[in-house]
Amino acid sequence: MSKRSKPSPPNTVDDPFAPITPADTAPVESDARSVRIESVRAIGEPLHIRLPERGGFVVLQGDQGVGKSTVLRAVRGALGEKDTDLEPADGAERGRVEAFGRTGTVTASMTRWGGELVVRALSGGDPSKFIDPGIDNAEKADAARMREVALLLGVKIPNNVWHTFLDGEPAPAALSSDPVEAARQVRALLHDRARGCERRADEARGEARELRASLPAKSMERPPTEEEARRAMADAITNRTRMEERKAAADKARALPIPKWTGGAASPVKDVEAFLSEALQRVDELRTELAKAREYEAFTAGKRAQEQARADAIANEPSPEDLQQAEVDVEDAEKLHTLMVRERDAGAKRSKLAEAEQNITRFAARADALRDRASEADGVLAKAVSERLPHGLVWHEGRFWVKSADREKGIELLSDLSDGERIRLGLLLAANAVGEGGVFVIDQAVLGELSTTTIEELRKELEAKGVTCVSARATPGPLSVEGAS
């Protein structure tokens, strides 16, 4: 977590330790305040502890190994906590715990509880973790305290609140009724969807890189249309074909032989007609001669026509330069068509690139929004908890604040309080949560080096609320109980 400046305190200065109005509670029978333990862990011989009727602070004392932790675990188990790690004492087949109307039979494999609890117990949460979450970072420690407070106060958050918070995002299939677990589920859901958006953004980035690499280095200012490229290609090919046909015609004309007359000598037609008029007797001969003359004339005309066609074909032959230019025109048309295709493909790629870049922005922004939303999930929990906090204990800017006993300090961060002040606040918060006639436990490690004077002051405050707290601290000597009846 990035380092943040110290948050500004809220404006409230109400007293966080003001007594609350407890709910109506049925009187508890005197035996309900007794704890009897036999043959459990370090407690071999029967041990009987009677909790004070009026409430208070019961502190187990003694050297390590005398049974302080065993008593605390037995009390926790009787109050309904699970996994208290009880087992028979060495050499015993089973142990027994009687407390608060319940009886626990302890074996090596399990502890079986029976009976009905006749004192009030915390519905959840651990005041020890509120007092000391075991986290060095002050902000994270307060976040952990917030979760414990939610459990201590029995805060419930309706599913419709989470649905509204998710703002259209599908909710988890089965939201826990535990608000802390529900907040975790919502955070996990939003982070998972954020990761999905980030994966899609990464995919879009990869697609964009591939598209950029495949685009041509330069682009025409106005690339040809497909119709323009098609027409240019057709014109170039037609021109080349025409040139090739002209060249072929000229080559064919050169190869044709010049016809020769093989019909013998012949006179012109006009001379024959003169002879015909002069000598009718020679009609047959002259007619034959006339036919030959006409045949010769037709041959001559055909020859002249053939020679003219040959000359025309040769004259129409394209020059080598024209043929070369026709080939160049076709090549240019092919290049133009290739360019058109390339630009058409490039245009499609640019459209895909623009879409990919939009997806990068869209999915990255969505992932950030989801992660921001996930970070606000604890805010929903904090809001629900803040409405039930004791007067003067305030959740503000992600931190717990409390009115200081020192009037000059006014209001200060919970993390800045002394160990004794935090313990006092945690005990009274648990006392308010459990209500008059209730019993709760705090860990031995939490008491630390509290002075006897401080413990006595806490005992009086708990007595005033009619609540009993059971804890322990290490002192020289055998097991003893301070504050019991």
Q: Are strands 399-403 and 411-413 parallel, antiparallel or unpaired?
A: antiparallel
How confident is the model over 122-150, as a mean pLDDT?
Answer: 88
Task: Give the residue, 98 or 344, on which the prediction is more confident.
Answer: 98
Beta bridge partners of 103: 98, 114
**Mean pLDDT value of segment 426-431:** 90
Its pTM stands at: 0.59
Q: Residue 312 pLDDT > 50, yes or no?
A: yes
- Centre a 10 Å sphere on the Cβ of residue 64 and count the other Cβ atoms it contains: 8
Q: What is the DSSP string of 438-454?
A: BEEE--HHHHTT--HHH
Contact present, 468 and 55 (Cβ < 8 Å): yes
Domain ranges for the chain: 179-215+359-372, 226-350
- Residue 468 pLDDT more than 90? yes
Residues 340-357: tens digit of each pLDDT: 888 888 888 888 989 999
Distance CA(49)–CA(35), nearest Å, equals 5
Cα 65 to Cα 444: distance, rounded to the nearest angstrom: 13
Question: Is there a contact between 381 and 150 (Cβ–Cβ < 8 Å)?
Answer: yes
Q: Is 141 exposed, middle or buried (0-12, 13-18, 19+ CB in 10 A)?
A: buried
Residue 400 parent element (H or E)? strand 399-403
- Rounded to whole angstroms, what are the CA distances from 278 to 267, 268, 281, 288, 483? 16, 16, 9, 16, 178
How distant, in Å, are the alpha carbons of 266, 306, 308, 309 from that of 302? 17, 6, 10, 10
Q: Which of 56-65, 81-90, 157-166, 277-286 has the lowest mean pLDDT?
A: 277-286
**Tokens read off for 171:** 């909710």
Distance separating alpha carbons of residues 15 and 404, to the nearest angstrom: 9
* Token pair of 46 as six digits: 């029967």
Average pLDDT over residues 379-398: 80
Q: What average pLDDT score do residues 202-212 get?
A: 89
Tracing tokens 């939009």 back to the chain, one arrives at 358
Torsion of CA 468, 472, 477, 479, to 10 degrees: 50
Angle 17-147-167 from CA coordinates, rounded to 5°: 120
Whether residue 178 is predicted with pLDDT greater than 80 in this model: the reply is: no
Report yes or no: 373 and 183 within 8 Å, Cβ to Cβ: no
Say if residue 264's pLDDT is above 70.
no
Higher pLDDT, 85 or 360: 360
Calpha distance 286→296 (Å, rounded): 15
pLDDT at 348: 87
CA distance readout (Å), 456 to 62, 201, 421, 441? 18, 62, 14, 17
**Mean pLDDT highest for which of 226-240, 260-274, 330-344, 374-388?**
330-344
User: Which helix (H) or strand (E) is 403 found in, with range?
Assistant: strand 399-403
Task: Name the band, by pLDDT with cuts 50, 70 and 90, for residue 405.
Answer: low
Task: Give the integer Cα–Cα distance in Å for 473 and 64.
Answer: 9
State the DSSP string of 71-121. HHHHHHHHTT-S-----BPTT-S-EEEEETTEEEEE-SS-EEEEE---SB-
- Residue 404, Cα to own-chain centre: how many angstroms? 42
In the chain the first and final C-alpha atoms are separated, in Å, by 49
Asked whether the predicted pLDDT for residue 108 surpasses 70, the reply is yes
Q: For 241-250, 353-362, 400-409, which range has the lowest pLDDT when averaged over its residues?
A: 400-409
**Residues 281/267, Cβ–Cβ less than 8 Å:** no
3-state SS class at 278: helix
pLDDT in the model for residue 242: 80
Q: Using CA atoms, how far apart are residues 221 and 339, in angstroms rounded to an integer?
A: 12
Which comes out higher in pLDDT, residue 103 or 181? 103
The distance of Cα 478 from the centroid of its chain, to the nearest Å, equals 57
pLDDT score for 273: 61
How many other CB atoms are found less than 10 A from the CB of residue 445?
Answer: 14
- Among candidate residues 131, 12, 72, 16, the one with its CA nearest the CA of residue 432: 16
pLDDT above 80 (res 283):
no
In angstroms, rounded to a whole number, what is the distance separating the alpha carbons of residues 352 and 358? 10
CB atoms under 10 Å from CB of 457, counted, come to 15
Q: Residue 28's pLDDT band (boundaries 50, 70, 90)?
A: very low
Q: Is 437 helix (H, G, I), strand (E, B) or coil?
A: coil
Radius of gyration (Cα) for the chain, nearest Å? 54
